[in-house]
Homo-oligomer: A and B are copies of this chain.
């Protein structure tokens, strides 16, 4: 009633110096990521919302991204890199391939539970982020699936996992882990048992796969 703020919470950021136009690009990406994580829904992130969060106007975003799809695609790439960091760190800390497999599983689940909205965007929403898709090759690399296959192969070579196609085995392992993360995220209201379900599942998977 007392007419406090002029518009919405529109704090204008200062215009970048001559050579620093790319700085806005980073700020847009960061803001889009924040909003995506906050809402967990690509549809809920709007160009206008991002612009307001950054403190610029909507058209400015088109100086750095062709359209909304390209913006969201870039955000996803960042999330994938974060996931890679999780599993990379985990697998680096063990020499035994079976231990490494276990640790990677735990790291994967931990990434999902600590970044549920990011996980939702990466694996739970339709793969059309805007118009753009990730192709098969990109997916292989980005989802750290390559590392998983290699680790499984090492286990098989060492005679620790029953002989079989490493790729297929890696798929079943990934599938099981993904099921856990996605259900814990989308159905937090389900009366989950009061045990460490992650360990429970990983041990079940291990037992199902080991020699």
Which residue numbers of A lie inside 8 Å of B, CB to CB? 40-41, 43, 120, 123-127, 133-136, 139-140, 165, 167-168, 171-172, 174-180, 182-183, 186-187, 189-193, 195, 197, 200-201, 204-209
- The interface residues of chain A, by DSSP majority, are classed as helix
Contact with A189, one of B125, B136, B208 (Cβ below 8 angstroms) = B136
Q: How far is the CB of A68 from chain B (nearest CB, A)?
A: 15
List of B residues within 8 angstroms of A125 by Cβ:
186
CB distance from A105 to the nearest CB of B (A): 12
* Number of this chain's copies in the complex: 2
Shortest distance in angstroms between A194's beta carbon and chain B's nearest beta carbon? 9
**A162 (CB) vs chain B CBs: closest residue:** B207
Q: Which of chain B's residues has its CB closest to A176's CB?
A: B176
- Contacts A178-B179, A189-B135 given; does A204 touch B172 at CB 8 Å: yes
Does B175 contact A124, Cβ atoms closer than 8 Å?
A: no
Partner of A139, one of B134, B179, B190, B201: B190
Q: Are B204 and A208 in contact (CB under 8 A)?
A: yes
Contact of B195 with A204 in the complex, beta carbons under 8 Å: no
